[in-house]
Structure 1
Amino acid sequence: MTNKTSSLRVLAFDYGLSQIGVAVGNSGLGTAQPLSILRARDGQPNWDEVSALCKEWQPDLLLVGDPLNMDGTVSEFAQRARKFARRLEGRMGLSVEMVDERLSSFEVKQQQKEAGHRGDYREHPVDDLAAELILRDWLGQQ
């Protein structure tokens, strides 16, 4: 776990098979904002794009949402997200923490529906907002 008194720049990832949402934040300021949505092929992003984001934002820590089952057990999808996290750590050379993201996508979609989103998530995805929520949840635990 990270030191509560330190200020870290953080990138958070909402893992998906075709899209990966990214958010950026700062633990000292308690800020989080959506950043981008990366296209992925069977869960694999363009690693050059991930590297470019890391170079631009210079994060101290990376977060990946952990899509556990509602009972807390590890789903097949959670295993894939954890594999993505290990690859991210190995390729970027940065520490990665998993963050429980149960219901984060559902919560973001509910918020967006209330704000007038028509539910056309393929055309207007919210993965970056889900990454922001993952980051905000992590910030709240610090």
Structure 2
Amino acid sequence: MKVAIGGTFQPLHDGHKALLRKAYELSKNVDIGVTSDEMAHKGRVRPVRPYRERVEALRDWIKQEIGVEAHIFRIDDPYGPTLNEDYDYIVVSAETYPMALKINAKRKELGKKPIEVYRVECILAEDGRPISATRVVMGEIDVHGNLLRRRK
């Protein structure tokens, strides 16, 4: 079994951790694509830490929590290697689910079999709304979804 997962992973929050745990439950053979600095900054207004720092935090958490050495690589587009390599699963959030559908549509155009999509529901913050990197960076919640300030 081979699993694909991708993202910016910054800050690494409980939603990301749920995705990663599910990926490693499916298989220990997990390919993790982390967005390049160029891709991470494209269209974003929030600050994003450098690629190397994001990968280091991700690698450390996986080693400590999952107990394996992570296979992490840089991706420069939303597809990563999913159009060229075969995977049994792609693990996504509700937010990234549409991208998984695009990946499978492109794979179909290329004559490749689809990747089974495993969608992990969003982890909710204390206020019942999804935990997101943007909310964490904006100081609204912490990485566990605890409220830091009330919305107006």
Give TM-score scaled by structure 1 length.
0.38
Between Structure 1 and Structure 2, the one with more strand by share is 1
